[in-house]
Amino acid sequence: MTAPTPPWNTSRPVVVLTGASSGIGLATATELAALGYALVLAARREDQLGALARRLDPSGHRVIAVPTDVTSPDSRRALIAAAHAHFGRIDVLINNAGVTVERGWWWDDPDPLRVLRVNLDAPIELIRLVLPEMRGRGSGHIVNIGSVAGQAATNGLYSASKFGIRGFSLGLRRELLGSGVNVSLVSPGFVKSEMTARARLPMPGPDIVARAVASVLLRPRREVLVPRVYHLFAWLDRRLPALGDRLVRRLIVRRYDHSGQ
């Protein structure tokens, strides 16, 4: 019988990153690989994920790809097990995988609650899997990717998931004070990605979010909004909600007609 391969020894922080095959996840993987982090890349699209891992680290030692469906308990456990088998530990968990209702209104979608399963349930369950290790070691960092839609509501199901992950992140951070485990929330506004492909407004690329993630890993913070202009949008929505209504109606709601297309 062949002896099991021991974990790959590395002094680099080991990062598990979900939703790594495209958009913000791909940009974040590229940014962190360039900074020397060891990466466990997770996403459903196996071919794209494997190609990304090979591009970032042709040796296969420092970056590995683990095809994962974050809504599956077995798949989540397999992801964590693969990280431990290869690296022996997890220092950082970045919950980036996210979806929204693909077309039309959420009430016409055949499975609208999938938005909550991916954006809220899955991060909570993944955190539950890594917390014993991090708390026992007295170190670790959890980064959840939220959205400005978690401060200024736009779409019912999507905003519900992002308000939820924001509240969960801020509460978890306080629950873990003094434990050595940091919790940060990075909340993007509109940035170029598959999810925002139909939005009709100027947007920066996902690199701006990747740089924000890298920044909070070096200097942990409670919450970061990017681009910074969305601080003003969130503030206006709290102070002048009627203005927020007009902005949302103009930028978002009118892109759907009554047939939901």
| CATH code assigned at 214 | 3.40.50.720
Residue positions annotated with a catalytic role = 158
- Say if 36 falls within a structural domain: yes
Question: Per the structure, how many domains does the chain have?
Answer: 1
Cα gap 200→207, rounded to integer Å: 20
Binning pLDDT at 50, 70 and 90, where does residue 239 land? low
Binning pLDDT at 50, 70 and 90, where does residue 259 land? very low
- Say if 136 falls within a structural domain: yes
Locate all alpha helices (DSSP H) within the chain, ordered by sequence.
Answer: 23-34, 46-56, 73-87, 114-116, 122-137, 156-175, 207-218, 229-239, 241-251
Asked if the model's pLDDT at residue 165 lies above 70, the reply is: yes
Mean pLDDT to the nearest integer, 7-34: 92
The pTM assigned to this predicted structure is 0.86
- Say if 129 falls within a structural domain: yes
Mean pLDDT to the nearest integer, 45-54: 96
What was the pLDDT predicted at 209? 95
Displacement of CA 58 from its chain's centroid (Å)? 25
Neighbouring residues of 174: CB distance < 8 A, sequence distance ≥ 6 = none
Helix, strand, or coil (residue 93): strand
- Say if 261 falls within a structural domain: no
For tokens 């924000």, the residue is 212
Asked if the model's pLDDT at residue 248 lies above 80, the reply is: no
- Say if 2 falls within a structural domain: no
What is the tens place of the pLDDT at every residue in 70-95?
A: 999 999 999 999 999 999 999 999 99
Look up the domain containing 52 and give its range: 14-255
At residue 92, φ and ψ (nearest 5 deg) are -140, 135
- Say if 198 falls within a structural domain: yes
